[in-house]
Amino acid sequence: MHSNIIDKNAQPFPSSMPLDNAAKIYPAARGRRSPSLFRLSMELTENIDKEVLSRALDRTLKRMPSFSQHLKRGFFWYRLEHNTELPLIFDEIRNPCVYFNEKANKGFQFRVSCYKNRIAVDFFHVITDGTGGMSFLKTLVAEYISLKYDIVVPRGNGILDCTETPQRSEYEDSFLKYAKPMSVSRLEPSAYHIRGTREQYGVIHITTGIMPLDEISAKAKEYGATINELLTAVLILSIYNIQQKEGLPFRKNQPVKVSIPINLRKHFPSHTLRNFTTYANLGINPALGSFTIEEIIAVIRHGLALETNKKMLTAKFSTNVAAEKNILIKMAPLFIKDPVLKLYYIMNGDRYNSSTLSNLGLVRLPEEMERYVERVSFMLGAGMNPVFCACVSFGNKLCLNIARTIAEPLVERQFFTLFSAMGIHIQLESNGR
């Protein structure tokens, strides 16, 4: 992600900066049941030394100051102000990605915790996306291992050198940089949504499936698909099966769609550690009849080919940038923007998808670091939908987390049963009570 080349035009990190284009909706949309958080974690070979982790965190934040931020209200927009304190390191909590008290967290927009051999970071989406968050976690763990075991961990591939100066390109708003005077309609059919018994606030059920990466890769090749296409297709088929079993006449023909995050850094030159992601809602229309897994994969493949076309990507985020620059929106005071944006999020946030599947792909670490790491994990926090999925691979393990805020384990039963029927070996874990 980063070349580790010092920018000759490096400037002092600003004391205050505006939110990036994607982040602007999150402060207004955030609530206890929809905190807009995600978690990244690594499990090491030995229990974590909290004092060493604190030192590693201090060094990491000095190198990556865009994470060291207070969220402040302005008259027109929220803004980020640099936070010079050192965040606390919390003991692990039972339910990750739950709303955290900013005052207790010293105003930071992320929360570091450790439990036994696990280092975890919960991020509020206002400061970063999955790619930026993974760079932060990799750098933090690299610093920890360097300090704990007195070794030199090579930098690169998202692991930043903490002796270097922060680069302006790392905290730029790449949406503004690449936006053009073009737009595309945001309208699309509303999606089917899973129903269930809503859990009380703070309760998130997490089912983790650990699958051999080589088995998943081989199965994807059998279908002529990528791993992400296969995972998405199985998730869509799982939700479709739930929909048809439910059998309600007014719901059984609603589109079943999954939101797939698209990392824009793969399409535009950018080293930003802030948000630079867009989304594609892809799926099937049951009104057309039943679908095989092969047909769903084809829909996903062709849909992604269209959605990841550079012109389409540019048009999608340029539409959002144009809205931000609209004079009426720009000049409206925040006390008006806040309720309007919150209402917009409630009405449209997850309206067009049945669930989300975010895949950060294969995490590569230098050999000097890899031997101390056993597992990498990624999970999404609660949104308007009751079920949300995230996965990441490390070594020969694909770790997929299905989180839900309803009591019934509908999706995970279908999802892992389908993969088991394909001959994939699955190790299941749960935080269930």
Bridge partners of residue 401, in order along the sequence: 208, 390
Q: Give me the CATH code for the 205-430 domain, please.
A: 3.30.559.30
Bridge partners of residue 420, in order along the sequence: none
Bridge partners of residue 69, in order along the sequence: 82
Question: In terms of DSSP H, where are the helices of 117-258?
Answer: 130-149, 174-178, 213-222, 227-246
What pLDDT does 3 receive?
A: 42
What pLDDT does 1 receive?
A: 43
Residue 248 Cα to chain centre, angstroms: 32
Q: 16-178 with 205-430: one CATH topology?
A: yes
403, 205 Cβ separation under 8 angstroms: yes
44, 119 Cβ separation under 8 angstroms: yes
Q: What is the pLDDT of residues 357-390, one digit of tens each?
A: 999 999 999 999 999 999 999 999 877 899 999 9
277, 316 Cβ separation under 8 angstroms: no
**Domains of the chain: which residue ranges?**
16-178, 205-430
**How far is it, in rounded angstroms, from Cα 32 to Cα 99?**
6
Phi, psi of 263 (to 5 degrees): -75, 110
Low-confidence ranges of the chain (pLDDT < 70): 1-11, 32-34, 93-94, 433
What pLDDT does 102 receive?
A: 82
**How far is it, in rounded angstroms, from Cα 89 to Cα 86?**
9
**How far is it, in rounded angstroms, from Cα 339 to Cα 345?**
10
- Stated pTM of the model: 0.94
Residues across the chain: 433
How many of the other CB atoms lie within 10 Å of CB of 4?
A: 12
Alpha-carbon distances, residue 411 vs 259, 260, 262, 389, 398 (angstroms): 15, 17, 23, 10, 18
Q: Give me the CATH code for the 16-178 domain, please.
A: 3.30.559.10
How many of the other CB atoms lie within 10 Å of CB of 335?
A: 9
